[in-house]
Amino acid sequence: MFSLHRKSIVMKKYFLILLSIILLFSCSKKSAIDQQLNNKVDSVLGLMTLDEKIGQMVLYASDGDITGSSIKSGLLDEIRKGNCGNILNAYTTAHTRKLQKIAVEESRLKIPLLFGYDVIHGFKTIFPISLGESCSWDLEAIEKGARIAAIESAASGVNWTFAPMVDISVEPRWGRVSEGAGEDPFLGSKIAAARVRGFQGKENDLADSLTILACVKHFAAYGAPQAGRDYNTVDMSQRVFLDTYLPPYKAAIDAGAMSIMTSFNELDGVPSTGNKYLLTDLLRGEMGFKGLVVTDYTSINEMVNHGVAENDAEAGLLAVKAGVDMDMQGEVYFKYLKKQVKDGLVDEKLIDEAVRRVLRVKFLLGLFDDPYKYCNEDQEKRLVFAPEHLETAFEVAKKSLVLLKNENQVLPLKKGDKIAVIGALAASKRDLLGSWKAYGDTMNMNSFLDEFKIYNGNTNVIYAEGCKKMGENISGFGAAIAAGRRADKIVMVIGEDAEWSGEAASRTSLQVPGVQTELLEKLKTLNKPIVVVLMNGRPLDLTRENQFADAILETWYAGTMGGKAITQVLFGEYNPSGKLTMTFPRNLGQVPIFYYQKNTGRPSYLSNPKYKSRYIDCPNDPLFPFGFGLSYTNFEYSEITLSATELVEKGELTAKVTVKNSGKYDGEEVVQLYVRDLVGSITRPVKELKGFEKVLLKAGNSKEITFKITPDMLAFHRLDMSFGTEQGDYKLYIGGNSRDVKQTSFKLK
Ligand code: GLC
């Protein structure tokens, strides 16, 4: 008779054998599917002339939005001749069907078109700008936003989005910080993956008619332009590139993104678009990327300006040999590649590899099975700008708002209070949509002022523009002050025009533009509670506004439903839960300033009053640190409990903390985990985010939060550039932002 013990061993054995058979079967099934796909691709490739092959490497702007100089006329003929296999900035089922029909019914090989578009934070239903959405720290909400953007895009004929933008940046002068997820590689990686899942679907099923191809951009390190000036030189150590800027691109690729866009900038002297190390050795070799590489808008041509090519033809050679599969709008591959192959300058095998990657994506999207799958007019009518999408955009917008100050509990406002609303941005619908608003428009949306009046009652709201978003005109100050006099409280909406961030929108100042702050200062003399609502696309220098405002709510550009979301937060219908994902400096002089700075040899805490790393005219610390955001309630943190004080190579330890909502409002808190490697073979940051959990706590309730720490979380590129961990002492921090934390220590053995 088998003993129970023997029986369980036999059962375990059978289970393992069964499991390995299943795994073996699923791996072989996957490789069989891959093989099938490759056969299909090769069967088409085998029919193609060189012209038709090059046509698949060409991407032209349709007559929709132009995000650069549009240089292509006679587009329809090129599609008909098979010389253009991909289109950007075409949308609606009607327009895309027209173009697709030419490709699949009039061209020789009937290869379907890709339709790409910049669906960055929504297609028609516009979500908060990506930097705002990142401040929700809510990966589910962020994924949902991308999912809805994909659904509306796919329903409108768009099968490819040029998103997510995952460029890490510590440069608030750079306007494109608005498109990303802030300064942190750990959070940026989580958000990048969430956005890819949203676009391509959780199962990465591109054949689904409501998933679209994601495009990770801008590869690589575009977010570190010198002096914050867009398109400017990027120069950094290989270690900083690999440990700080690369992780979100890798996370997006690991999440299954099947296309990537090269960046305009050079990196270490080589423009990304002609950078073989980046596009072939690193991206395809080390990172295992299997998708297609597309350039940014005319970035091949721009290598002549960079000074690494005499002319477009030479630039095209650099690009194709570096690993670029598709030329966006530059006409370089279109004009020169065929002759370069004929002249033996480019091996046709290289062309075949590029075309295989393009065709593979088109097969994965199901376009060969049904090229009109994204051209369903009924679906378009039903899904685009659907009420449930607006509802989700409203929910996400609320979560993206960050309460930076709330003295004397000025907020939340009380319904029925007599309130003066001041500022041009309060009445603006366009600015709520931010940059890269895709197909979004202001037709069916309310401004913040509209929503405020609906909520608080017309008679309780006195509006005065006061001044414009920019310019020196103060003629409206009097009316604004008069409005403030008649009110119990003042809500002033200040910030930047939506076009002051995004592409080609760098600033040399972080000040609130125009005379908005001067007006705020005048209103302060009325000695009434003042709430500042910010609408901006980058961290600003709020030192002066912070003096005059009793409360400050950072709202970014909160999207189609932003007016309602801001109103609901101001009146306490939703307790703000956002946390900054980019540091707000005290002034531009501190930039670049970010939480993961190094300690230096003369840290500012030294007792020596002079000879240490400091400014003589400003503290070192920022005005509002990374991870910071207030709530209408209070959260108290217990001391940290570690399961052990030593972490061994293959082991793990847990860190527990109890968070208590000690206030009178239910609220959500983003509990953040940071570590510090005290001694390394190279200098190490004073903090690094390694975990977070957003938790809802009812007033008076507590919850124990547990983080698991494993050695792999502590790996970095060491002195010899090998990637791994180093034994030694570590600090561990947990708190509601990167500054106010509980701390403890452990050893990595
Ligand atoms: C722009 C942007 C890029 C965008 C592309 C297509 O120049 O740099 O982010 O996807 O062109 O519009």
Kindly state if the Cβ of 728 falls inside 6 Å of ligand 1: no
Kindly state if the Cβ of 64 falls inside 6 Å of ligand 1: no
Of the candidates 686, 694, 698, the one whose C-alpha atom is nearest the C-alpha of residue 730 is 686
Kindly state if the Cβ of 297 falls inside 6 Å of ligand 1: yes
Distance, in Å, from the CA atom of 223 to the CA atom of 174, rounded to the nearest integer, reads 8
Residue with CA at minimum distance from ligand 1 atom 11: 297
Q: Which run of H or E residues covers position 532? A: strand 530-535
Distance, in Å, from the CA atom of 309 to the CA atom of 240, rounded to the nearest integer, reads 28
Kindly state if the Cβ of 179 falls inside 6 Å of ligand 1: no
State the distance from the centre of ligand 1 to the C-alpha of 693, rounded, in angstroms: 33
Distance, in Å, from the CA atom of 414 to the CA atom of 571, rounded to the nearest integer, reads 6
Judged by DSSP in three states, 234 sits in strand
Question: Does 664 or 22 have the greater pLDDT score?
Answer: 664
Which atom of ligand 1 is nearest to 179's Cα? 9
**What share of the chain has pLDDT > 70, as a percent?**
96
Q: Which residue has the tokens 């078109």?
A: 113
The answer to whether the pTM exceeds 0.85 is yes
Distance, in Å, from the CA atom of 511 to the CA atom of 509, rounded to the nearest integer, reads 6
Q: How far is CA 256 from CA 86, 189, 192, in A?
A: 21, 13, 11
Is pLDDT above 70 for 137?
yes
State the distance from the centre of ligand 1 to the C-alpha of 427, rounded, in angstroms: 29
- Structure token pair of residue 330: 């530059």
State the distance from the centre of ligand 1 to the C-alpha of 67, rounded, in angstroms: 6
Kindly state if the Cβ of 296 falls inside 6 Å of ligand 1: yes
Q: Which amino acid is at 328?
A: M
Task: Kindly write down the DSSP assignment for every residue of 533-552, as one continuous string.
Answer: EEE-SS----HHHHHH-SEE
State the distance from the centre of ligand 1 to the C-alpha of 436, rounded, in angstroms: 10
State yes or no: cis peptide before 592, omega within 30 of 0. yes
418 forms beta bridges with none
State the distance from the centre of ligand 1 to the C-alpha of 374, rounded, in angstroms: 23
Query: 71-96: per-residue pLDDT in tens?
Result: 356 888 999 999 999 999 999 999 99
Distance, in Å, from the CA atom of 523 to the CA atom of 493, rounded to the nearest integer, reads 13
How many angstroms from the chain centroid is the CA of residue 671?
A: 21
pLDDT at 217: 98
Residue intervals of the chain classified under CATH 3.40.50.1700 are 399-590
Q: Which run of H or E residues covers position 319? A: helix 312-322
Is pLDDT above 80 for 1?
no
To test ligand 1's pocket by mutation, which of 297, 299, 300, 436 has the most ligand atoms within 8 angstroms of CB? 297
pLDDT at 68: 39
- Altogether, the residues listed in the chain come to a count of 749
To test ligand 1's pocket by mutation, which of 65, 67, 158 has the most ligand atoms within 8 angstroms of CB? 67
5 — pLDDT class (breaks 50, 70, 90)? low
Residue intervals of the chain classified under CATH 2.60.40.10 are 635-748
Kindly state if the Cβ of 133 falls inside 6 Å of ligand 1: no
Residue with CA at minimum distance from ligand 1 atom 10: 162
Average model confidence (pLDDT) across the chain: 96
Query: 633-649: per-residue pLDDT in tens?
Result: 999 999 999 999 999 98
Q: How far is CA 487 from CA 182, 470, 516, in A?
A: 38, 25, 19
Distance, in Å, from the CA atom of 102 to the CA atom of 109, rounded to the nearest integer, reads 11
Kindly state if the Cβ of 395 falls inside 6 Å of ligand 1: no
Over residues 55-72, mean pLDDT: 68
27 — pLDDT class (breaks 50, 70, 90)? low
228 — pLDDT class (breaks 50, 70, 90)? very high
Of the candidates 435, 522, 415, the one whose C-alpha atom is nearest the C-alpha of residue 174 is 435
How many angstroms from the chain centroid is the CA of residue 687?
A: 22
Query: 304-319: per-residue pLDDT in tens?
Result: 999 999 999 999 999 9
32 — pLDDT class (breaks 50, 70, 90)? confident
Kindly state if the Cβ of 265 falls inside 6 Å of ligand 1: no
Over residues 432-439, mean pLDDT: 97
Q: Is 34 a catalytic residue?
A: no
Query: 250-304: per-residue pLDDT in tens?
Result: 999 999 999 999 999 999 999 999 999 999 999 999 999 999 999 999 999 999 9
Of the candidates 470, 472, 473, the one whose C-alpha atom is nearest the C-alpha of residue 499 is 470
Is pLDDT above 60 for 65?
no
Kindly state if the Cβ of 162 falls inside 6 Å of ligand 1: yes
Q: Would residue 685 be called left, alpha or beta, if left means φ above 0 and alpha means ψ between -120 and 50 degrees?
A: beta
- Structure token pair of residue 601: 């040899």
- Contacts for 670 with CB less than 8 Å, ≥ 6 apart: 137, 577, 579, 627, 629, 692, 693, 694, 736
Is pLDDT above 70 for 707?
yes
State the distance from the centre of ligand 1 to the C-alpha of 479, rounded, in angstroms: 42
Q: In angstroms, what is the C-alpha Rg of the chain? A: 27
Distance, in Å, from the CA atom of 41 to the CA atom of 35, rounded to the nearest integer, reads 10
Query: 448-500: per-residue pLDDT in tens?
Result: 999 999 999 999 999 999 999 999 999 999 999 999 999 999 999 999 999 99
Q: How far is CA 363 from CA 34, 42, 284, 368, 660, in A?
A: 11, 11, 20, 6, 52
Beta strands (DSSP E) in 257-366 are 259-262, 266-267, 270-271, 292-294, 327-328
Which atom of ligand 1 is nearest to 264's Cα? 8
- Contacts for 717 with CB less than 8 Å, ≥ 6 apart: 238, 239, 242, 243, 723
- Contacts for 1 with CB less than 8 Å, ≥ 6 apart: none
Question: Does 28 or 534 have the greater pLDDT score?
Answer: 534
Distance, in Å, from the CA atom of 146 to the CA atom of 72, rounded to the nearest integer, reads 31
Of the candidates 261, 224, 244, 293, the one whose C-alpha atom is nearest the C-alpha of residue 120 is 261
Which atom of ligand 1 is nearest to 118's Cα? 10
Residue with CA at minimum distance from ligand 1 atom 12: 67
- Contacts for 183 with CB less than 8 Å, ≥ 6 apart: 168, 169, 170, 581, 582, 583, 594, 595, 596, 626
Which atom of ligand 1 is nearest to 215's Cα? 10
Of the candidates 391, 466, 456, the one whose C-alpha atom is nearest the C-alpha of residue 419 is 456
Q: Kindly report the CA angle at 381 between 149 and 128, in degrees rounded to 5?
A: 25
pLDDT at 22: 67
- Structure token pair of residue 234: 């990027």
- Tally Cβ neighbours within 10 Å of residue 474: 15
**Beta strand pairing call for 716-717 and 723-724:** antiparallel
Q: In the CATH scheme, what is the code of domain 399-590?
A: 3.40.50.1700
- Tally Cβ neighbours within 10 Å of residue 307: 10
pLDDT at 72: 55
How many angstroms from the chain centroid is the CA of residue 160?
A: 17
224 — pLDDT class (breaks 50, 70, 90)? very high
pLDDT at 4: 59
Over residues 321-336, mean pLDDT: 97
Distance, in Å, from the CA atom of 314 to the CA atom of 324, rounded to the nearest integer, reads 14
pLDDT at 71: 38
30 — pLDDT class (breaks 50, 70, 90)? confident
Task: Kindly write down the DSSP assignment for every residue of 240-257, as one continuous string.
Answer: HIIIIISHHHHHHHHTT-
Task: Kindly write down the DSSP assignment for every residue of 4-37, as one continuous string.
Answer: HHHHHHHHHHHHHHHHHHHHHHHHHHHHHHHHHH
Kindly state if the Cβ of 68 falls inside 6 Å of ligand 1: yes
Burial class (CB in 10 A: 0-12, 13-18, 19+), 608: exposed
pLDDT at 70: 42
422 forms beta bridges with 464, 492
Of the candidates 527, 555, 528, the one whose C-alpha atom is nearest the C-alpha of residue 540 is 555
Task: Please report the sign of the dihedral spanned by the C-alpha atoms of residue 77, residue 80, residue 85, residue 87.
Answer: positive
Distance, in Å, from the CA atom of 59 to the CA atom of 41, rounded to the nearest integer, reads 19
Q: Would residue 633 be called left, alpha or beta, if left means φ above 0 and alpha means ψ between -120 and 50 degrees?
A: beta
Kindly state if the Cβ of 60 falls inside 6 Å of ligand 1: no
Of the candidates 450, 501, 579, the one whose C-alpha atom is nearest the C-alpha of residue 183 is 579
- Structure token pair of residue 700: 């008076």
105 DSSP assignment: I
Over residues 718-732, mean pLDDT: 98
Distance, in Å, from the CA atom of 132 to the CA atom of 541, rounded to the nearest integer, reads 17
Residue with CA at minimum distance from ligand 1 atom 7: 297
pLDDT at 66: 43
613 neighbors 599 (Cβ within 8 angstroms): no
pLDDT at 11: 75
pLDDT at 12: 73
Q: State which fold the 635-748 domain adopts.
A: Immunoglobulin-like (2.60.40)
**What share of the chain has pLDDT > 90, as a percent?**
93
